[in-house]
Amino acid sequence: MPAARHARLLPLAAALVLGLSYGAIAAPAAKNSCATCHARLTRSASALPSLQFREDVHRDLGFTCADCHGGDPTSDDQSQAMSPARGYRGVPTGAEVIARCAKCHSDAAFMHRFAPRQRVDQASEYASSVHGKRLATGDTQVATCASCHGAHGIRLVHDAKSPVFPTNVAATCGSCHSNPEHMKGYTLDSGAPLPTNQQAEYETSVHHEAMVTRNDLSAPTCNDCHGNHGAAPPGVGTVAAVCGTCHAVFAVRFDASVHKQVFDRGCAECHGNHAVKAASDRMLGTDQAALCGTCHSEGDNGFKAAIQMRAAIDKLKQGLDQAALLIARVKNAGIETSDQELQLGEAANRLTQARTEVHTFNPAPVDGVVKDGLGIVSRVEATGHSAEAELRFRRQGLAASLVAILLVVVALGLKIRQIDRRAGVSAPPAADKGGPAARA
């Protein structure tokens, strides 16, 4: 490019740089004296909010302290900036928290600008919750928005550091519900003190294990059963419905069963509530480890049904184990068994179905499914036995062919000796003996 052309472009470049610089100067960040002053405070309780707010989702979206607390953030004079005359509302407590959050979060048109798919009924749900109802009666100890979401370092719910991220929910609820001091005075409907061991129990449950060990975020935590904004304990008769949101087939079977009318605590009667353990076949039956004997006694129909259902399930399990061993054995011996493995998978599905049918507490449907499963197992076993027969045939055939080959080799060896002798083939000269091939 010629130098003259460079010279012509220089003014244009200079104008562009100046223009950009002017733009940067002309649009400074809005003044926020709240953050400036609070960050300088030596008392951590006063300084912390401004530090925490740096990571707050609201700040990222352009909100400032004044949007919740009011006041005049453009003034450096504290008496002006925090003057009620300029709208300063101070630190909200109790119902004020709900009102301030709801100002935006219950306004569909407003929320649409930032999070169009977010619900706007949290405040009304909260009002229907145990927390909301108690707050309305003047109990300021109960949880409000900030108790769970935080006040100044609020993160999106799907942020793993958020206190309401699934893996953190139990600890967040536990921060109040596991604190005996905090929960003092709260009682159950029966009048008994409200327990504070829910979190500890939950942490021993199969649900917690699924979430923490297997990193399954769909596993339930407190809010999945109790709700979040509309938090309430599932009442009598609603437990099965709550469990049924995930364990749908079990809930349908249970709803149609005789126990639906009898079990006050629904599923929790056998499985517990917070400390739900992995279900096992040992729970079914009448021996010491089983649960049925807790209510039923020898001779009654439930006792008989428990024995019958457990026997059916054990029979299918045993059949499956034996068939699986047989198929593994022939597979190791080189027989192709992928069809049989598929069928065994199908029989294992029947076992799962039978365990589901147990929740009807009626032996007939359990027996029906077990019969299907045993049919599959017996077909697989028949194929396995044929495979074993085939293996025996192969080995016998091999032995016969090896004998035949050996006979031919011996005959050939004799023939070779005979013709060698006739032809006078001699051994190599003695001098050549002993030299390995590598020496050649």
Partner 1 sequence: MLQRVVDWLDERLDLDDVRHFVGEKSVPVHVHKLWYYLGGVTLFLLGVQLATGILLLLYYRPSAEQAYESVQFIVTTVQFGWLVRNIHAWSANLLIATAFAHLFSVFLLKAYRKPRELTWVTGVVLLFLMLAFGFSGYLLPWNELSFFATKVGTSIAGALPLVGGFMLRLLRGGDDVTGATLSRFYGMHVAILPAVTTLFVGIHLLLVQRQGMSVPPSIERKLKPGDELPQMKFFPNYVLRDVVLWYVALALLAALAAFYPWELGQKADPFAPVPAGIRPEWYFLAMFQVLKLLPSHIFGIEGELVGVIGFSLAGLVLLLVPFLDRQTARGEPGRIFTVLAAIALVFMVAFTVYGYIAALQAGAAP
Does 425 contact partner 1 by CB under 8 A? yes
- Interface with partner 1 (CB under 8 A), residue from 193, 334, 345, 375: 334
Q: Which of 111, 246, 295, 333 binds partner 1 (CB under 8 A)?
A: 333
Residue 421, interface with partner 1 (CB under 8 A)? no
Distances (CA, A) of 435 to 228, 426, 428, 430, 440: 89, 18, 12, 11, 8
Report the nearest approach of partner 1 to the CB of residue 226 (Å). Answer: 40
Binding of partner 1 at residue 427 (CB under 8 A)?
Answer: yes
Interaction between residue 440 and partner 1 (CB under 8 A): yes
* Nearer to partner 1 among residue 133 and residue 331 (C-beta): 331
Q: How far apart are CA 368 and CA 284, in angstroms?
A: 18
Interface stretch with partner 1, choices 8-16, 146-154, 178-186, 408-416 (CB under 8 A): 408-416
Q: Which residue reads 């069809």 in tokens?
A: 339
Eight-class DSSP state of 285: S
Query: Could you tell me which of 314, 357, 369, 323 has the C-alpha nearest to residue 343?
Result: 323
> Minimal distance in Å, beta carbon 352 to partner 1?
24
**Which residues inside 340-399 make contact with partner 1, applying CB under 8 A?**
394-395, 397-398
- How many Å apart are CA 175 and CA 57, to the nearest integer? 23
Q: Calculate the alpha carbon distances from 154 to 58, 66, 103 in Å.
A: 7, 16, 17
CA distance to 317, 319, 350, 371, 379, per residue, from 376 (Å):
12, 10, 9, 9, 5
Query: Is 408 one of the binding residues for partner 1 (CB under 8 A)?
Result: yes
Q: Distance between CA atoms of 321 and 169, rounded to whole angstroms?
A: 41
Stretch that binds partner 1, among 1-9, 263-271, 274-282, 333-341 (CB under 8 A): 333-341
- The one segment of 134-142, 292-300, 373-381, 422-430 that binds partner 1 by CB under 8 A: 422-430
- Closest by CA to 133, choosing from 182, 166, 98, is 98
Q: Name the residues that contact partner 1, by CB under 8 A.
A: 333-336, 338-339, 394-395, 397-398, 401-402, 405-406, 408-409, 412-413, 415-416, 419-420, 423, 425-429, 431-435, 437-440
